[in-house]
Structure 1
Amino acid sequence: MAILSPNARFDADALPQGVIGIATDVGQHDSGVHRHRKSQLLFAAHGCMSISLQDRHTVLPPTCAAWIPAGIDHCARMRNVVAYRSIYFDTAQFEQAPTQLQVCRVNPLLSALIERMALWPWEMDSAKQQLVLALFWQELAAAEQEQLSLPMPTDPRLAAWLESLHLGALPNPLNQLAAQLGMSEKTLSRLFSRHTGMPYQSWRQQWRVLRALELLSEGQSVSRTADALAFASDSAFIAFFRQHRGMTPRQYQQR
């Protein structure tokens, strides 16, 4: 059975099938850091999830899917109800499978293929699977790559603060954060540049972009999203979003 209850225990590595798909609606959830011996494709048909992996924070709106190769530590978080789709692959059986971590844009055909594979019976005849898989690998290879990740600092002095961000807190401006953490602005700036390769202000702006994508994907209005991200006005948020994503928040939601 491919449709699981939100609290069901599931271990894809314990099953012998080469391709295993699952589908479930998940509310607020934190998977905890874990890894699989099988590679995994993650997709949210509706809603938005965030993934922490390889010291990066990645947002996965319904327009994108993430390919996570076997053996990579990762953690998936959902703040609201997500139509969760996950497909596990024994990549020893599939030479077409990607070998690198990637986030790609999902077109309507790829979305339909993922939905089909997430819902098919695990005991499905392999000959029927191959027809779908052949088209799936073709579409996955052709999918446009998306840059929806942000490097995360690993200094232990920031651990509690980073956890508050994962829970929905807003990263303060540099002077406020430095005071909150009990360090100078200069020290904090050097720390971010060393750990992320980005000045804090650039890092904070990218974090706000990713959080905006989450909120808009969850159906929040432009006004509520602007308020949640501490913009002075809706128009300021719209200009910010257009600058970083090349479209207005409303156009993004329509996509």
Structure 2
Amino acid sequence: MAWLRPTDPFDVDQLAHPVAGIASRLVQHDSGWHAHGRGQLLFAFSGSIRIMLPGMISMLPPIRVAWIPSGVPHRIRIRSEVDYRSIYLDQNHIPAPFAAPAIVTMTPLLREVFERISFQSLDTDWSKGAARNLLAVCMDELAAARHEPMLLPVPSDPRLAGLNLEALPPELEALSEEIGASTRTISRIFRRETRMGYQSWRQSWRLLRAVDLLASGLSVTPIASELGFASDSAFIVFFRQMTGETPKRYLHRGRQTSA
């Protein structure tokens, strides 16, 4: 549909055709909690997007694609500036690429197809010709894309209602003192509601935030400091343990994959 300004009126559920693509630039945006009658594929062409889902959070850097099924409440938050692309699919006519919310790798071909679909006219007939072929390639690439462990479950127990997901979560002992629950109780809550121990959950949060900051263009030193590491090398060791790669190689590989 070409470029969509943030002030342009747009209701995807009122459109006649089963596929709709948009492209826009947003600065310090908060969508609030909402849901669509269509499934949504979301991609940050540049910048990073925070996605909140019921019981889950995620970061979406420019090397990943998110799928949000129809009817699933979600909230999109952008701290700086992001060029984003969205493709909305009417799941009554287009099969969902995944049964549940998912984060997958952006492949080179998928990136090109995503861009093409995002700028197609809203009155495009997707049932024939080049448009049908374009959509088919998009769905095939999504089916083959690698799933990424970038959806972090969040506990719903009221004793943890004050847990700040915007900042580095405290160590277990500090959290215990903060909320007045024993370390054993907190550990039990996290295992029950996230299937992870608290320390594993905290490390996963650190990884999400690290990828977010790397995608935003920060270097290792300020990231290591924000995430509570004693040194750059300690952060690099952590990142390699979590992903199998150094931060620089991880982001470089992702950009090569999506370039």
TM-score w.r.t. the length of structure 2 is: 0.91
1: distance between equivalents of 2:82 and 2:251? 16
Match of 2:154 among 149, 152, 155: 152
1:115 — aligned with what? 115
Shift of 1:156: 2.2
Which residue type is aligned with residue 133 of structure 1? L
Query: Given the alignment of the two structures, is residue 183 of structure 1 paired with residue 181 of structure 2, yes or no?
Result: yes
- Partners of 2:96 and 2:223 lie apart in 1 by 40
Q: Structure 2: how far apart are the matches of 1:96 and 1:178?
A: 42
Distance 1:139 1:178, change over 3 A: same
Contact 2:97 2:142 in 1 (8 A): no
Distance 1:247 1:125, change over 3 A: same
Aligned residue type for 2:223: T
Pick the aligned partner of 2:131 from 129, 132, 149: 129
Rounded to whole Å, the distance in 2 between the matches of 1:169 and 1:96 is 34
TM-score, normalized by length of structure 1?
Answer: 0.92
The CA distance in 1 between the partners of 2:67 and 2:203, in whole Å, is 25
Q: CA deviation at 1:40?
A: 0.8
Q: Is the 8 A contact 1:91 1:97 kept in 2?
A: no
Q: Specify the alignment match of 2:102 in structure 1.
A: 102
**Matched letter for residue 151 of structure 1:** P
Q: Is the 8 A contact 1:86 1:118 kept in 2?
A: yes
1: CA distance, partners of 2:71 / 2:27: 26
Is 1:216 aligned to 2:214, yes or no?
A: yes
Q: Secondary structure at the match of 1:235?
A: helix
The match for 2:256 is none
Q: Report the identity percentage.
A: 47
- The equivalent residue for 1:251 is 249
CA contact (8 A) 2:48 2:61 kept: yes
Q: Secondary structure at the match of 2:235?
A: helix
Letter in 2 for 1:186: R
Q: Does 1:143 align with 2:154?
A: no
1:82 matched to which residue of 2?
A: 82
Q: Which residue of 2 aligns with 1:50?
A: 50
Q: Following the alignment from structure 1 to structure 2, what is the Cα–Cα distance between the partners of residues 160 and 121?
A: 45
- Any runs of at least 4 consecutive aligned residues in structure 1 with deviations exceeding 4 A, and if so which? none
Aligned residue for 1:204? 202
Deviates further, 78-87 or 240-249: 78-87
CA contact (8 A) 1:87 1:118 kept: yes
Distance (whole Å) between structure 2 residues aligned to residue 253 and residue 103 of structure 1: 16
RMSD: 1.7
- Report SS of the residue matched to 1:138: helix
- What per-residue deviation string (whole Å, max 9, x for no partner) do you get for residues 208-245 of structure 1? 01110000011111111101101000000000000001
Q: 5 Å matches for 1:19-58?
A: 19-58=19-58
Residue pair 1:2, 1:122 contacting (<8 A) in 2 also: no
How far apart, CA to CA, are the structure 2 residues paired with 1:79 and 1:244? Answer: 25
Structure 1 residue 38 displacement after superposition: 0.8
Gaps of 5+ in 1: none
Q: For residues 144-200 of structure 1, give each alpha carbon's deviation from its aligned partner in whole angstroms, at most 9, with x where no partner exists.
A: 111111110001232232xx32xx311110111121223222222222222212111
Tell me the distance in 2 between the aligned counterparts of 1:122 and 1:50.
27
